[in-house]
């Protein structure tokens, strides 16, 4: 389809359904989840293990073929943890896997198929150990991680850094640095004074943004009808 043929009432009802699913089925799996979470198809998001914390206005976009997972390995004497800041965005097929600690700062942007892990999960010689080598991963504020990038154990990425698509990051990335490649290497340094415009600014007034988006959808979908939507599903035409 080239256009969204749904009438506004259908869009609003779907949003209410996703929000209710998030509150009832997904939120209890987080140790803490801030207000104004927006999760697209929340039934495709898996939170496994304890100590998964997320701040306010998290935005997760998933699909059946692009699930999102937050996984904590939790032996009784040393459970891992994941801490996600405010106003972060997670696209489909993202995997966050913690044996020790993964911290993601405010306003981070993670594109499709990113993997962040703080562990090798198996030793080079002992591949049966329940305590594989691990080291914390720290992602700063306003970090942008591109499509398919891999962030390995012990890595710290500074504020405002950009990780190029398909990069393999095994060493620290300084703040305000653009890196890419496998292994990732510095390509460019950003002006630390910016000015940067972040998701913190966009989502700072989450309720105001919600009102704006509702008005925008009302205008965009205002000419649609239930019969028109049914026609587009049953008898699609070129241009639909």
* Residue numbers annotated as active site: 122
79: Cβ contacts below 8 Å, ≥ 6 apart = 49, 50, 51, 72, 73
Both tokens assigned to 41: 């198809």
DSSP state of 227: H
DSSP letters spanning 1-45? --S----HHHHHHHHHHHHHHIIIIIGGGSSEE-SS-EEESGGGE
Q: What is the distance of C-alpha 51 from the center of its chain? A: 17
Distance CA 47, CA 28 (A): 9
- Cβ neighbours around 197 below 10 Å, total: 10
Q: Output the CA torsion sign for 205, 63, 115, 27.
A: positive
């Amino acid at each position: 389809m080239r256009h969204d043929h749904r009438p506004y009432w259908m869009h609003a009802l779907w949003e209410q359904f996703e929000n209710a699913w998030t509150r009832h089925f997904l939120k209890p799996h987080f140790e803490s989840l801030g207000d104004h979470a927006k999760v697209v198809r929340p039934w495709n998001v898996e939170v496994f293990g304890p100590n998964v914390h997320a701040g306010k206005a998290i935005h997760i976009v998933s699909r059946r073929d692009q699930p999102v997972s937050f996984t904590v390995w939790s032996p009784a004497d040393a459970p891992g943890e994941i801490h996600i800041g405010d106003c972060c965005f997670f696209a489909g097929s993202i995997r966050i896997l913690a044996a020790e600690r993964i911290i993601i700062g405010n306003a981070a942007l993670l594109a499709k198929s990113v993997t962040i892990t703080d562990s090798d999960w198996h030793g080079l010689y002992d591949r049966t150990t329940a305590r594989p080598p691990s080291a914390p991963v720290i992602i700063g504020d306003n970090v942008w991680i591109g499509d398919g990038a891999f962030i390995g154990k012990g890595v710290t990425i500074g504020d405002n850094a950009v990780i190029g698509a398909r990069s393999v990051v095994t060493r620290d990335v300084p703040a305000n640095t653009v890196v890419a490649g496998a292994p990732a290497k510095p390509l460019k340094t950003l002006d630390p004074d910016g000015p940067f415009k972040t998701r913190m600014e966009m989502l700072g007034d989450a309720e105001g943004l919600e009102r704006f988006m509702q008005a925008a959808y009302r205008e965009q979908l205002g000419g649609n009808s239930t019969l028109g939507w049914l026609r587009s599903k049953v008898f699609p035409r070129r241009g639909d």
